[in-house]
Amino acid sequence: MGPSSSDEKILSYNDVVLRRSDLDILRGPYYLNDRIIEFYFSYLSSTYPSQDILLVPPSISFWITNCPDLSGLKDFIEPLQLNSKKLIVFTVNDNSDVTQDEGGTHWSLLAFDRDRNVFVHHDSMKGLNGWYAKKLYKTVEKFVGVHGYPSTACFVECLTPQQTNGYDCGVYVLAITKVICHWYVSGANDKGDQWLSAMDEQVDASTVTQLRDEILRLILHLMNKE
């Protein structure tokens, strides 16, 4: 029996392959999966190109958080060159079962700001993912230091625009990541202001709904160009 229509490949973008079922997720109202988040991270990396910024795909963030063999984690992380990046965004997911593909029920993000030497956790559901974010922080903190020295960066649970439903957490992650990328590339970082005020101004339930539609239209546009 051949693959169902929902498994049909509809778009290859950089290293990300999207399937027809991803369009149904975006039409919603549904919880975003890894593929959609990875696609938009890749798109943002192309839209806001900078050697200083790294948007870590969800699958890699998940493995760093839950890798059972910490002794082998160094070889896995080194190619990411975390110690050379000024700004790193990780996704946080409440799935801790490495045998469960695309599990979990909630997304949030953890951003490392080297200039301020801080890991900032943004959670659109009242810090629900706080424990998982701290677990990720404690692991990656060892790898973001320069010249072989561990980082002394602190962890901050930051006030974040809150979702008004049970399924838009992933879109909040993407909306906030977009704000962070634009903030950095536009030079606002050089003025000494962090992205928090821009996030408060630009991210709310309405803009998140618009972004979900925007990503769907973007994918359809890229499909038509192939």
For the stretch 78-128, pLDDT in tens is 999 999 999 999 999 999 877 676 778 999 999 999 999 999 999 999 999
The active-site residue out of 121, 122, 168, 169 is 169
The active-site residue out of 22, 34, 113, 123 is 123
pLDDT at 215: 98
Number of domains in the chain: 1
Nearest Cα to 162, choosing from 133, 128, 212?
128
158 counts as catalytic:
no
pLDDT at 192: 65
pLDDT at 20: 95
123 counts as catalytic:
yes
Question: How far apart are the C-alpha atoms of 61 and 108, rounded to whole Å?
Answer: 11
pLDDT at 148: 59
8 A C-beta contact, residue 195 and residue 186: no
Kindly give the parts of the chain with pLDDT less than 50: 1-2
The active-site residue out of 106, 121, 122, 168 is 106
Instruction: State which residues form the domain around 196.
Output: 5-225
Tokens matching residue 32: 């975003």
Note the helical H segments in the chain.
20-27, 34-47, 58-66, 73-77, 130-140, 169-185, 196-202, 205-225
106 counts as catalytic:
yes
pTM value is: 0.93
Question: For the domain that residue 31 is a member of, what is the CATH number?
Answer: 3.40.395.10
pLDDT at 1: 45
